[in-house]
Amino acid sequence: MGLWDVVTGRSRPKQAKLDALFHVPAAAVTLQTTLGLTPTGDGSVCYRASSGAAFVGTQADIVSLVGSGPDAPRVTVGNDAYGFTWLEVDHDPSDPANPDLAGLCTDLHAVNTSLEAQGFGPGLLCSLFPFVGPDSQGGRRVGLVYLYKQGTFYPFAPDPGGAQRRDNLLELQVRDALAGELPIEQDLSRWLAIWGAPGL
Q: How far apart are CA 153 and CA 179, in angstroms?
A: 10
Per-residue pLDDT, 17: 86
Q: How far apart are CA 79 and CA 75, in angstroms?
A: 14
Q: Rounded to 10 degrees, what is the CA torsion of 11, 12, 14, 17?
A: -170
Per-residue pLDDT, 6: 45
Indicate the angle between helix axes 24-35 and 168-177, nearest 10 degrees.
120
- CB–CB of 153/147 below 8 Å? yes
Per-residue pLDDT, 16: 58
Beta bridge partners, 153, equal 146, 184
Per-residue pLDDT, 13: 45
Q: Which residue, among 61, 190, 40, has the nearest Cα to 126 in the 3D structure?
A: 190
Tens of pLDDT along the chain (200 residues)? 454 454 445 544 445 589 999 999 999 999 999 999 999 989 999 999 998 999 999 999 999 999 987 888 999 999 998 899 999 999 765 566 567 899 999 999 999 999 999 999 999 999 999 999 987 667 789 999 999 999 999 999 998 776 789 999 999 999 999 999 999 999 999 999 999 899 99
pLDDT for 109-153, tens place per residue?
999 999 999 999 999 999 999 999 987 667 789 999 999 999 999
Buried b (16+ CB within 10 A) or exposed e, 74-104: ebeeeeeeeebbbbbbbbebeeeeebbbebb
Per-residue pLDDT, 1: 45
Collapsing DSSP to helix, strand or coil, 20 comes out as: helix
Give the CA angle between residues 47, 112, 154 to the nearest 5°.
70
Extents of the domains making up the chain: 18-190
